[in-house]
Amino acid sequence: MTEIQALIKNWYLENKRDLPWRRTKNPYYIWLSEVILQQTRVAQGKSYFERFVKKYPKIEGLASASEQEVLSMWQGLGYYSRARNLHTTAKYIVKELNSVFPSKHTEILALKGVGEYTAAAIASFAFDQVYAVLDGNVYRVLSRIFNLAIPIDTSEGKKQFIFLANELLDKIQPALFNQAIMEFGALQCVPGKPNCEICTLNIYCEAFKNNTITSLPAKKGKPKIRNRYFVYFVYLDENRETVRLRKKTENDIWKNMFEFPKIEFESVEQMDEFLSDNKNKIRTISTLYKHILSHQHLYAKFIVFSDSLFLNSPDVIEIPVLILNEYPLPRLMERYLEQNRTIFSHQP
Ligand code: SF4
């Protein structure tokens, strides 16, 4: 650990960029820079930081500005909630804390718009407190050096990375080390394919040895949701005594269950276009049903239809309405049937 620590610090001292917020210990400036950099690249953030510091050299100036002025200073950075939080917090510090920026980690963390990462950054950069920062760059560096493949977007993954970050943190120079590991991730251990051949850490780097660099850090990610749009055709005979069903044999959801014949569309617009083109043949149309499955969101409309489309398909069967419930039906169809009983009541 200490060799890795020393190498990262040495690399930083030789390669660091000269950035204005690194030349100060003023917590107000450090906080300002961190809020600006939350969703902004360093090159763009730098000019905004300099403009803010010039216009509001002290927190009192920011606090007494109008919200409109702060928002227009922020223009171009996006995510305007950051600007509003900045303004609210400046007013809070001036009014409630006598313009003294809090130095305790818990108090910093309680400020509006300040999360775990920003609180650790302010506590260490401004007050030299022993808090490890953990941003995207640090996750990447740690996951690669230690070849840690646990997904960073899981609570267990976060726990392990927090532990590791604190283990590796230089307890004597936390500010310097935090800056160093973040800069190392931003400039050397970059996403994709870093230049590992010239990396000062390559003899210690487990991902380099195991050729796992491009798959780290691992992410579980959200399952991709597929949206599907169905129009179900309800074929009732004149007396509403029989209805048509089709057994699902294809490899898809609800295999081997029964459903009304249907057409699937790519989008809700396509579906609506079809319905509009065929409105003369539609006797009743349901509202739009939304049905959520683990990886699919289904949007469906049911139409009582008077055209012969599907009627000659060999896999479509005619069954008495009275025994409809004896067939295995998807929950989506059951919902429709429960809410539209009158459509299926027998007409003598
Ligand atoms: S050897 Fe490559 S993957 Fe490992 S720390 Fe260096 S740049 Fe990152």
Where do the structural domains in the chain lie, given as residue ranges?
2-215, 226-344
Q: Which atom of ligand 1 is nearest to the CA of 196?
A: 2
pLDDT number for residue 346:
63
Structure tokens at 211: 């050729």
Backbone angles phi, psi at 314, to 5 degrees: -65, -25
35-58 pLDDT, tens per residue?
999 888 899 999 999 999 999 999
Distance CA 231, CA 271 (A): 7
Q: Which atom of ligand 1 is nearest to the CA of 194?
A: 7
CA dihedral 181, 185, 189, 192 (to 10 degrees): 160
Q: Compute the average pLDDT of residues 209-217.
A: 93
Backbone angles phi, psi at 230, to 5 degrees: -120, 140
Given a cut of 70, is residue 29 above it in pLDDT?
yes
pLDDT number for residue 347:
58
Q: Which of 25-34, 144-153, 175-184, 220-229 has the lowest mean pLDDT?
A: 220-229
Residue 346 or 314, more confident: 314
Catalytic residue among 34, 50, 167, 264: 34
- The highest-confidence range among 123-127, 250-254, 343-347, by mean pLDDT, is 123-127
pLDDT number for residue 348:
55
pLDDT number for residue 148:
96
Ligand 1 test: best mutation among 7, 143, 145, 206, most atoms within 8 Å of CB? 145
pLDDT number for residue 270:
92
Are 2-215 and 226-344 the same fold in CATH?
Answer: no
pLDDT number for residue 297:
94
Distance CA 287, CA 278 (A): 16
Backbone angles phi, psi at 115, to 5 degrees: -105, -170
Taking only Cα atoms into account, the Rg of the chain, rounded to an integer number of angstroms, comes to 31
Ligand 1 center to residue 112 CA distance, Å?
A: 36
- Sequence-separated (6 or more) residues with CB below 8 Å from residue 75: none
Domain 2-215 class in CATH: mainly alpha
Structure tokens at 272: 């609506």
Ligand 1 test: best mutation among 168, 189, 215, most atoms within 8 Å of CB? 189
pLDDT number for residue 123:
98
Q: Which atom of ligand 1 is nearest to the CA of 200?
A: 6
Given a cut of 90, is residue 345 above it in pLDDT?
no
Helix 27-37 vs helix 81-96: angle between axes, to the nearest 10 degrees?
A: 160
Contact 163, 140 (CB under 8 A): no
Ligand 1 center to residue 125 CA distance, Å?
A: 25
Q: Compute the average pLDDT of residues 234-238.
A: 88
Q: Which of 99-103, 213-217, 239-243, 282-286 has the lowest mean pLDDT?
A: 239-243
User: Regarding the domain delimited by 226-344, which CATH topology (the fold level of the hierarchy) does it fall under?
Assistant: Nucleoside Triphosphate Pyrophosphohydrolase (3.90.79)
pLDDT number for residue 252:
85
- Sequence-separated (6 or more) residues with CB below 8 Å from residue 183: 12, 15, 16, 17, 137
| Nearest residue (CA) to ligand 1, atom 2 | 196
Mean pLDDT estimate for the chain: 92
Of all residues in the chain, the percent with pLDDT exceeding 70 is 99
| Nearest residue (CA) to ligand 1, atom 7 | 189
Burial zone of 315 (CB within 10 Å; 0-12 exposed, 13-18 middle, 19+ buried): exposed
Q: Compute the average pLDDT of residues 18-26.
A: 96
Could you write out the DSSP letters of every residue in 127-161?
H--------HHHHHHHHHHTT--S-TTSHHHHHHH
- The reply to whether 34 belongs to the active site is yes
Residue 58 DSSP one-character state: S
Q: Give the HSE-up count for residue 305: Cα atoms under 13 Å, Cβ half-sphere.
A: 22
50-98 pLDDT, tens per residue?
999 999 999 999 999 998 889 888 887 877 788 989 999 999 999 999 9
Instruction: Report CA torsion sign: 139, 31, 183, 7.
Output: negative
Cβ neighbours around 125 below 10 Å, total: 27
pLDDT number for residue 295:
83
Structure tokens at 226: 């597929």
Cα 171 to Cα 53, 166, 178, 306, 345: the distances in Å are: 30, 9, 10, 78, 77
Ligand 1 center to residue 262 CA distance, Å?
A: 54
Of the candidates 165, 173, 163, the residue with the CA atom closest to the CA atom of residue 141: 165
Q: Return the bridge partners of 234, or none.
A: 304
Structure tokens at 232: 């179900």
Given a cut of 80, is residue 289 above it in pLDDT?
yes
| Nearest residue (CA) to ligand 1, atom 8 | 189
Verify cis geometry, omega within 30 degrees of 0, for the bond prior to 174.
no
Of the candidates 239, 249, 253, the residue with the CA atom closest to the CA atom of residue 300: 253
pLDDT number for residue 107:
97
Ligand 1 center to residue 221 CA distance, Å?
A: 23
Ligand 1: residues with CB < 6 A are 144-145, 188-189, 194, 196, 199, 201-202, 205, 207-208, 213
